[in-house]
C-alpha cells in the first residue's frame, strides 16, 4: 500500500511537471490579456527541437547535449511565442485562430521534419527528470513574485485588466504583451523539452497529446493565479497517475453497472471539474478583463 | 459594425469586398502550397513530381499520358463529406459570433448515437432507418453543442474553453461506452456490433467511401446558410453576432439565440459522425471519427460565411488529405505536409489585416470576417 502511495505521488509529480511549466506560460500570457491556445504548439515544438539539438550535439557528451537541447527548446519556444504575439497584437488576428494556426503549424512541421530527418526514430541520453521537477517547483513562486512584487508584473496585470487604463497611466500594452507571450512560449517549450528529453528520451509525433489544452484548463482551474494553476496541474497530474496506477495493479471497482476505476472515466473527470469551475457560482473563475480582446485603437 | 455603415457602403466598396472575399482564400491556399513547396524543396525532393502526384492522388486526372481514374476522385469526395458537415457547423456558429471548437466532440457523440439507433431495429424500411440514424446523430451532436451554448448564455463560460473540455469528455465517454456497454461481445476490438444492413449508405464507386453522405452534407450546408440568410432566426443569429447589445435592444432573447445556434451547429457536426458510421464503418469503432471536427475549423475559416465558400473549401481540404496519402506512397514525402498547408491557410485566412496596409484595410476585413469573433470590434471612426 505504501509502495502504491509512493508511486502515486511520484507519478503525480512527473505528470504535473510539464503541465506546470506550460501553465505558468499560460498564466503570464493570459494575465496580460492574450488567450493562449497555442501552448499545445509551443510544447510540441519545444519537444521536437529539444531532442533534435540533443541528438546533433550527442557526440560532445550527455551534459552538453542536454544543455543544447534545453537551449534549442527555449529559442524555438521564444520564436513561436513571438509569432503568436505578432499575429494577435500586430495583425489583430483573433487570439484563438492564431493559437489554432500555430498548433497546426507545430503539428505539421514537427511531424514532417521528424519523419523526414529521423525515419528510423532516435534516442538521446536526455536530462534527468528531477531537474525539470525542481524548475517546476520553483517556477510558480517565481511567477507569483514576478506578478505581485515587481513593477513589470504590475504593468502586466494592468494591461490584462484594462489596456486603456494602463495606457492612461503611461504603460503601453504592446511591449508588455509581446514579452509575456514570448516568455509563455519559452516556458511551454520547456514543458515540451521535459516530455522528449526527460520523459521519453525520444520524440514521437503528437507527443504533447493535448497537454497544452490541459495546462490551459489548469490555468482556469487555478483562476489565473500561478499557485492556483500549479494546484490545478497537480490535480490533473494526480488523475493521470491514478489511472496508470489502477491499470497496472488491475484494481477495479464496479458500482451501479459502471466501472468507476475505468481509465476513460477517470480521464474525463478533470475536464468535468474544469467546466464546473468555469460555470459555478461559488468560487467562479473570472478571467482577466481584457482577455482576448483587441488592442484599443491608439 | 453597425447596419448603418453597411448600407452606406458604396457599390464600389461592395465590389472590392467581394473581390477580396474571392482573392483572399486563393491567396491563402497559394501561400500554403508555396510554403510546402519550400519545405519539400529544401528537403531535396523533386517538387514538381511531388505536386503532380498530389494532384493525381486528389483528382485521378493524369495529364501525360491522359488518364482518368474515378477512384481517387471518389476518395477525395468521400473525405469532403465529413469536412463539409463540420465546416458548415463551425461557419454557422461563427455567424452568431460563436467559435465552435467542439465540432470534434459533437461529431463523436453523433457517431455513437447513430450507431445505437442503427443497431436498435433491424426491420425498418431502409430510408426510414437511415433518416432515423441521421436524426439521432444530429440530435446527439446538437445536444452537446447546446450544453456549450447554455454555458455561454447563462454562465458566461467562453465557448472555446467549454468546447475544448467537452471534446475530451465526449471522446472519453464514447471510449468508455464502446469498451463496455456498447461493445461487441466476443470481440477484442473496441467497437459496436454492425448496424442493420438496411441503414447502410452504399458507395457510389465500389471500394471507395463516396456515398449519399456527400449529398446530405451539401444539403445540410445549403440549408444552414438558408437559415442564416432568410429566416427570422437567421436574422437574430446575425444580429447577435454583430452585437449582443443591439440584439438585446431589439428585444431578442440573446441567451436563447446562442443556445439554438450551438444546437444547430452541433447538429451539423453530429451528422458528420452519423454519415461516417452509416457509410464507412457500419459500426462505431473507437477513434474512427479522426480529426474532421478540428479540420472543419480550417474549412470554415477558408470558406467564409457562404455555403459555396465552405463547399469549395471542404473540396480543397478533402482533396488535399486524400491526395497527400497517395503522394506519400508514391514519393515518400510525409503526408503531414497537408497539415502544414492547413496551418498556413488558417494563419493567413484568419488574419484580419496585414499590418502594413493600415487601418482602413483592417476595417474592410472586419466587415468580411464578421463573425470570426463576435467580440468587441475596434471603435469605428
- Of these ranges, A135-139, A170-174, B177-181, the one predicted with the greatest mean pLDDT is A135-139
d(CA A177, CA A163): 10
* Second CATH level (architecture) for the domain B3-368: Orthogonal Bundle (1.10)
Supply the pLDDT for residue B356.
Answer: 34
Query: Does residue A280 sit in helix, strand or coil?
Result: coil
pTM: 0.86
A36-50 pLDDT, tens digit each: 999 999 999 999 999
Question: Is the predicted pLDDT of residue A62 greater than 90, yes or no?
Answer: no
A5-59 pLDDT, tens digit each: 888 999 999 999 999 999 999 999 999 989 899 999 999 999 999 999 999 888 8
Which of A67-76, A205-214, B10-19, B321-330 shows the lowest mean pLDDT across its residues? Answer: B10-19
Write down the mean pLDDT value for chain B. 83
Of A93, A268, A294, the CB nearest to B173: A268
pLDDT average, residue stretch B292-304: 88
Best of A35, A163, A264 to disrupt the B interface (most B CBs within 10 Å) is A264
CA dist B302 → A81, B19, B154, B289, B309 (Å): 24, 15, 31, 22, 8
pLDDT band at B8 (very low <50, low <70, confident <90, very high): low
pLDDT average, residue stretch B18-44: 84
Who wins on pLDDT, B246 or B2? B246
Supply the pLDDT for residue B21.
Answer: 73
pLDDT average, residue stretch B117-138: 85
Of B351, B375, B379, the CB nearest to A93: B351
Supply the pLDDT for residue B352.
Answer: 52
The residue of chain A nearest to residue B342, with distances taken between CA atoms, is A104
Q: Quick one: what percent of chain B has pLDDT higher than 90? A: 34
Query: Does residue A154 sit in helix, strand or coil?
Result: helix
Write down the mean pLDDT value for chain A. 87
On chain A, the residues whose CB falls within 8 A of the CB of B343 are: 101-102, 104-105, 107-109
Give the residues across from A255 on adjacent strands: A258
The residue of chain B nearest to residue A296, with distances taken between CA atoms, is B378
Supply the pLDDT for residue A42.
Answer: 96
Who wins on pLDDT, B123 or B50? B50
A239-289 pLDDT, tens digit each: 888 888 887 877 777 767 677 767 788 888 888 888 887 787 545 666 777
Supply the pLDDT for residue B5.
Answer: 52
d(CA B348, CA B28): 5
Which of B76-80, B278-282, B349-353 shows the lowest mean pLDDT across its residues? Answer: B349-353
Supply the pLDDT for residue A229.
Answer: 93
d(CA B243, CA B377): 9
Supply the pLDDT for residue A94.
Answer: 82
Supply the pLDDT for residue B370.
Answer: 37
Burial of B206 (0-12, 13-18, 19+ CB in 10 A): exposed
CA dist A115 → A204, A288, B336 (Å): 10, 40, 9
> Apex CA B183: angle with CA B190 and CA B131, to 5°?
100
Whether A115 sits inside 8 A of B334 (CB atoms) is yes
Who wins on pLDDT, B212 or A178? A178
User: What structural domains does chain A harbor?
Assistant: 2-279 (1.10.3470)
Whether B172 sits inside 8 A of A102 (CB atoms) is no
Element at A258 (helix H, strand E): strand A258-259
A57 with A123: CB under 8 angstroms?
no
Query: Does residue A254 sit in helix, strand or coil?
Result: strand
**Distance from the B66 Cα atom to the nearest Cα atom in chain A, whole angstroms:** 31
B191-212 pLDDT, tens digit each: 888 887 777 877 777 777 888 8
pLDDT average, residue stretch B140-160: 91
Whether B342 sits inside 8 A of A108 (CB atoms) is yes
DSSP per-residue codes, A100-147: HHHHHHHHHHHHHHHHHH-TT--------HHHHHHHHHHHHHHHHHHH
CA dist B57 → B47, B65, B71, B73, B362 (Å): 15, 15, 9, 8, 38
> Apex CA B35: angle with CA B32 and CA B40, to 5°?
125
Supply the pLDDT for residue B26.
Answer: 85
Whether A217 sits inside 8 A of B164 (CB atoms) is yes
Q: Pairing relation of β-strands A258-259 and B61-62?
A: unpaired
Whether B176 sits inside 8 A of A262 (CB atoms) is yes
Residue extents of the structural domains in chain B: 3-368
B279 with B119: CB under 8 angstroms?
no
Q: Dihedral sign, CA of B335, B340, B346, B348?
A: negative
Residue count of chain B: 381
Which of A218-222, B29-33, B60-64, B148-152 shows the lowest mean pLDDT across its residues? Answer: B60-64
Element at A224 (helix H, strand E): none
Question: Is the predicted pLDDT of residue B355 greater than 50, yes or no?
Answer: no
SS3 content of chain A, % helix, strand, coil (to 5): 75, 0, 25
The neighbour count for residue B181, using CB atoms within 10 Å, is 11
Question: Is the predicted pLDDT of residue B374 greater than 50, yes or no?
Answer: no
B56-82 pLDDT, tens digit each: 889 888 877 788 888 888 889 999 999
pLDDT average, residue stretch B31-55: 88
Whether A112 sits inside 8 A of B337 (CB atoms) is yes
Whether A217 sits inside 8 A of B342 (CB atoms) is no
Supply the pLDDT for residue A279.
Answer: 81
Question: Is the predicted pLDDT of residue B353 greater than 50, yes or no?
Answer: no
d(CA A89, CA A94): 9
Amino acid at each position: 500500500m505504501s509502495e502504491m502511495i509512493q508511486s502515486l505521488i511520484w507519478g503525480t509529480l512527473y505528470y504535473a511537471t510539464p503541465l506546470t511549466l506550460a501553465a505558468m506560460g499560460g498564466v503570464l500570457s493570459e494575465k496580460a490579456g492574450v488567450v493562449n491556445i497555442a501552448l499545445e504548439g509551443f510544447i510540441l515544438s519545444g519537444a521536437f527541437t529539444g531532442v533534435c539539438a540533443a541528438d546533433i550535439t550527442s557526440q560532445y557528451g550527455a551534459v552538453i547535449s542536454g544543455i543544447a537541447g534545453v537551449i534549442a527548446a527555449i529559442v524555438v519556444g521564444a520564436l513561436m511565442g513571438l509569432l503568436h504575439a505578432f499575429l494577435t497584437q500586430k495583425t489583430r488576428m483573433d487570439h484563438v485562430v492564431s493559437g489554432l494556426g500555430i498548433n497546426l503549424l507545430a503539428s505539421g512541421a514537427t511531424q514532417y521534419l521528424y519523419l523526414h530527418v529521423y525515419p528510423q526514430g532516435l534516442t538521446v541520453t536526455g536530462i534527468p527528470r528531477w531537474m525539470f521537477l525542481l524548475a517546476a517547483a520553483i517556477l510558480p513562486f517565481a511567477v507569483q513574485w514576478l506578478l505581485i512584487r515587481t513593477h513589470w508584473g504590475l504593468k502586466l496585470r494592468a494591461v490584462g485588466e484594462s489596456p486603456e487604463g494602463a495606457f492612461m497611466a503611461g504603460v503601453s500594452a504592446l511591449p508588455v504583451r509581446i514579452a509575456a507571450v514570448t516568455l509563455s512560449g519559452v516556458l511551454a517549450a520547456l514543458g515540451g523539452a521535459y516530455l522528449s528529453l526527460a520523459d521519453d528520451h525520444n520524440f514521437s509525433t503528437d507527443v504533447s497529446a493535448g497537454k497544452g489544452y490541459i495546462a490551459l484548463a489548469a490555468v482556469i482551474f487555478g483562476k489565473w493565479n500561478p499557485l492556483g494553476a500549479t494546484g490545478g496541474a497537480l490535480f490533473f497530474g494526480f488523475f493521470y497517475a491514478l489511472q496508470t496506477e489502477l491499470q497496472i495493479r488491475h484494481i477495479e471497482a464496479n458500482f451501479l453497472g459502471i466501472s468507476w476505476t475505468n481509465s476513460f472515466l477517470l480521464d474525463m473527470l478533470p475536464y468535468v471539474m474544469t467546466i464546473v469551475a468555469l460555470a459555478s457560482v461559488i468560487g467562479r473563475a473570472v478571467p482577466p478583463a481584457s482577455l482576448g480582446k483587441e488592442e484599443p485603437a491608439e | 459594425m453597425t447596419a448603418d455603415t453597411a448600407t452606406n457602403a458604396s457599390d464600389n466598396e461592395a465590389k472590392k469586398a467581394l473581390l477580396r472575399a474571392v482573392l483572399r482564400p486563393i491567396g491563402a491556399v497559394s501561400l500554403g502550397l508555396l510554403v510546402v513547396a519550400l519545405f519539400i524543396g529544401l528537403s531535396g525532393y523533386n517538387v514538381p513530381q511531388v505536386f503532380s502526384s498530389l494532384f493525381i492522388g486528389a483528382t485521378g486526372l493524369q495529364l501525360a499520358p491522359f488518364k482518368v481514374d474515378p477512384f481517387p476522385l471518389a476518395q477525395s469526395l468521400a473525405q469532403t463529406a465529413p469536412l463539409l458537415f463540420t465546416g458548415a457547423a463551425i461557419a454557422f456558429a461563427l455567424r452568431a459570433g460563436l467559435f465552435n471548437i467542439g465540432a470534434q466532440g459533437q461529431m463523436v457523440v453523433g457517431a455513437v448515437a447513430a450507431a445505437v439507433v442503427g443497431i436498435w431495429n433491424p426491420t425498418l424500411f431502409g430510408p426510414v432507418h437511415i433518416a432515423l440514424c441521421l436524426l439521432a446523430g444530429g440530435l446527439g451532436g446538437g445536444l452537446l453543442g447546446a450544453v456549450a451554448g447554455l454555458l455561454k448564455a447563462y454562465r458566461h463560460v467562453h465557448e472555446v474553453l467549454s468546447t475544448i473540455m467537452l471534446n475530451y469528455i465526449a471522446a472519453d465517454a464514447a471510449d468508455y461506452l464502446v469498451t463496455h456497454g456498447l461493445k461487441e461481445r466476443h470481440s477484442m476490438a473496441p467497437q459496436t456490433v454492425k448496424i442493420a444492413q438496411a441503414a447502410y449508405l452504399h458507395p457510389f464507386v465500389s471500394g471507395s467511401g463516396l456515398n449519399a453522405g456527400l449529398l446530405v452534407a451539401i444539403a445540410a450546408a445549403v440549408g444552414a446558410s438558408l437559415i442564416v440568410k432568410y429566416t427570422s432566426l437567421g436574422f437574430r443569429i446575425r444580429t447577435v453576432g454583430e452585437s449582443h447589445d443591439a440584439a438585446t435592444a431589439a428585444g431578442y432573447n440573446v441567451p436563447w439565440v446562442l443556445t439554438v445556434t450551438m444546437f444547430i451547429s452541433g447538429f451539423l457536426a453530429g451528422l458528420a459522425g452519423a454519415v461516417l458510421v452509416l457509410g464507412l464503418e457500419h459500426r462505431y469503432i473507437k477513434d474512427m471519427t479522426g480529426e474532421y471536427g478540428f479540420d472543419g475549423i480550417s474549412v470554415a475559416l477558408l470558406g467564409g460565411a457562404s455555403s459555396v465558400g465552405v463547399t469549395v473549401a471542404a473540396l480543397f481540404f478533402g482533396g488535399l488529405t486524400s491526395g497527400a496519402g497517395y503522394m506519400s506512397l508514391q514519393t515518400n514525402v510525409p503526408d503531414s505536409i497537408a497539415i502544414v498547408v492547413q496551418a498556413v491557410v488558417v494563419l493567413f485566412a484568419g488574419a484580419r489585416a496585414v499590418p502594413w496596409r493600415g487601418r482602413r484595410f483592417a476595417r474592410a476585413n472586419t466587415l468580411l470576417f464578421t463573425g470570426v469573433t463576435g467580440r468587441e470590434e475596434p471603435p469605428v471612426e
